[in-house]
Amino acid sequence: MTEPQIVWLRRDLRLADQHAFACAAQHGPVIPVYVLDDETPGARRMGGASRWYLHQALESLERDLARHHSQLVLLRGDCVEQLCRLARETGATTIHALRHYEPWWRDAEERLASKVDLCLHDGNYLLPPGTVTTGAGTPYKIFTPFKNALFASVDDFDILPEPALASPDIWPASDALQDWGLLPTNPDWAGGMRDFWQAGSSAALDRFDDFIEVIGDYREDREKPSLDGSSKMSPHLHFGEVSARQLWHKIARHRSDGARFFKAELVWRDYAQNLLLPFPGYGEEPYRAGYDDAFWRDPESDPAAQVDLVAWQQGRTGYPIVDAGMRQLWRTGWMHNRVRMIAASFLVKHLLIDWRHGEHWFWDTLVDADYASNGTNWQWVSGTGVDSNMFVRIMAPLSQSEKFDAGEYIREYVPELAGLPDGEIHDPSDMFRPDDYPDRIIGHREGRERALEAYRAMKG
Ligand code: FAD
């Protein structure tokens, strides 16, 4: 019998199109391991909603592995220490893993490679981050040329099937998933998420097959929060239950505008990761100078800013579209993309609160919370990122709500407003505003003027 091979899993919880599994399976019996790591230096602790989702995703992977008469070994602690110990105990010669680009994972990969034979593989993104570059070999900073370059070099992908997995003679000891405390208990706030999500590779692919039926309308429908017009693949992609290449491959021959726009959205995910290579702190630090503490209202030192931040988090700003989005987030762990933009813009511009407070809240409450995608999008909305300065483009939540026909969406997530007629739902007048629905915490014009004034002062 050849020596066992360890497959170290992180956000790549699938068997098909998983190059670490495929390679390990060719070299010997496979020991799949997931390390719950709250200890690696500099690592961001996963937020509450992500931990809930992770529990479901690991359960599903355990079932998939059982079909191959295999198991998932669960360990807890510093990943480098745990993996080195496991390699010693099992006599495994090589640890296989997919590459990840969060700065703490790159450090951990480097530490691990100095101690064991670590074999890193690509495959969580359409193309390996760092490989789509300008003619001069430098990274693209702006999305559209990045997307055009990627589209020019990709037609379709070959997808790896699930490999046959041989088991080791003896399975190493494993934690029990239930003992990790990933699920909320007191209170159990996950009811809405249980209704909304089914984790796992097969559930993701089934959901995507349903989405393909309507992909022709994606270009228009994805903008309308009242419709079920987008794929809802984001947690499945984030945790790697499916690969972006698998999704691309399934629609490679679709010629509709919808399919083309969908592929472009997948490219956004690659683009965000590509920004982490030259700018590892991009997920949490503003790229542009000037947006420092003096620019923002600080909830920690300014009680009025703290009240505003809490109203935003709880969906009680008095702006129906913002409140519907924030309550959807709390209930389901997900928010429609258009509404994420509106709610983020509202926090940063109308309330003049540093985007990092919003980024942290999203990190804790999104099931798809992703260091690169979250940071990139917050910086994009805030105008603090690599794109041209967008701070002066201030979204008007009321007209956005009307333009994207958010009436039914508001009725679903803000039940106090459910009885309002169409003409009132986006911006209820005093006569229609129910007593239990809050007044606006700031007027649109007032918020806009304050933001522009702060910007002018910063620019001197
Ligand atoms: P679809 O429209 O079906 O798109 C398909 C896939 O493309 C998505 O699942 C996602 O993986 C990718 N994608 C689409 N839009 C983007 C985008 N703008 N940036 C990066 N990838 C994209 N997405 C995350 O995955 N994690 C986050 O933490 C996250 N934070 C965000 C924060 C803000 C302030 C904003 C404005 C957007 C954020 N997004 C994030 C991007 C986007 O909102 C979600 O990916 C999308 O809503 C997921 O729904 P879907 O799967 O139905 O998307």
Residue 368 CB less than 6 A away from ligand 1: yes
Structure tokens belonging to residue 26: 């060719």
Q: How many CA atoms lie within 13 A of 300 on its CB side?
A: 5
Q: Determine whether 296 is an active site residue.
A: yes
Ligand 1, atom 34, residue with closest C-alpha: 378
Interacting residues of 260 by C-beta distance below 8 A, sequence separation 6+: none
Give the separation between CA 39 and CA 448, rounded to whole angstroms.
42
Predicted local distance difference test score (pLDDT) of residue 307: 98
Q: Determine whether 105 is an active site residue.
A: no
CA-to-CA dists, residue 224 to 239, 380, 458, angstroms? 26, 21, 35
Residue 337 CB less than 6 A away from ligand 1: yes
Give the separation between CA 73 and CA 32, rounded to whole angstroms.
6
* Domain ranges for the chain: 5-124, 125-158+201-278, 303-455
The answer to whether 174 touches 75, Cβ cutoff 8 Å, is yes
Give the separation between CA 460 and CA 454, rounded to whole angstroms.
10
Query: Which of 436, 57, 5, 55 is CA-nearest to residue 239?
Result: 57
Q: Determine whether 110 is an active site residue.
A: no
CA-to-CA dists, residue 152 to 47, 200, 219, 243, 258, angstroms? 37, 32, 21, 20, 18
- Max Cα distance, the chain (Å): 79
Atom of ligand 1 nearest to the CA of 363: 28
Sort 396 into a burial class: Cβ within 10 Å, 0-12 / 13-18 / 19+. middle
Predicted local distance difference test score (pLDDT) of residue 345: 97
Residue range 125-158+201-278, CATH number: 1.25.40.80
First to last CA, the chain: 72
The answer to whether 411 touches 425, Cβ cutoff 8 Å, is yes
Residue 369 CB less than 6 A away from ligand 1: yes
From 180, 268, 389, 412, the catalytic residue: 268
Binned average pLDDT, 10 residues per bin, the chain of 460 residues: 92 98 98 96 94 98 98 98 98 97 97 98 96 93 96 97 97 98 94 97 98 97 98 98 98 96 98 96 93 92 98 98 98 98 98 98 98 97 89 93 98 97 95 95 96 92
CA of 333 to the centre of ligand 1 (A): 13
Residue range 5-124, CATH number: 3.40.50.620
**Could you tell me the sign of the dihedral formed by the alpha carbons of 323, 325, 328, 332, in that order?**
negative
Question: How much is the pTM?
Answer: 0.98
- Quickly list DSSP for 156-171: ----PPPPP-PPPSSP
Residue 332 CB less than 6 A away from ligand 1: no
Name the strand (E) or helix (H) holding 323. helix 320-332
Ligand 1, atom 47, residue with closest C-alpha: 337
Atom of ligand 1 nearest to the CA of 272: 20
CA of 71 to the centre of ligand 1 (A): 32
9-40 in b/e form (b: 16+ CB < 10 A) is: bbbbbbbbbbbbbbbbbeebbbbbbbbbbeeb
Atom of ligand 1 nearest to the CA of 369: 28
Residue 238 CB less than 6 A away from ligand 1: yes
**Could you tell me the sign of the dihedral formed by the alpha carbons of 77, 83, 85, 86, in that order?**
positive
Residue range 303-455, CATH number: 1.10.579.10
Give the separation between CA 57 and CA 330, rounded to whole angstroms.
20
Residue 340 CB less than 6 A away from ligand 1: yes
Query: Which of 181, 354, 157 is CA-nearest to residue 243?
Result: 157
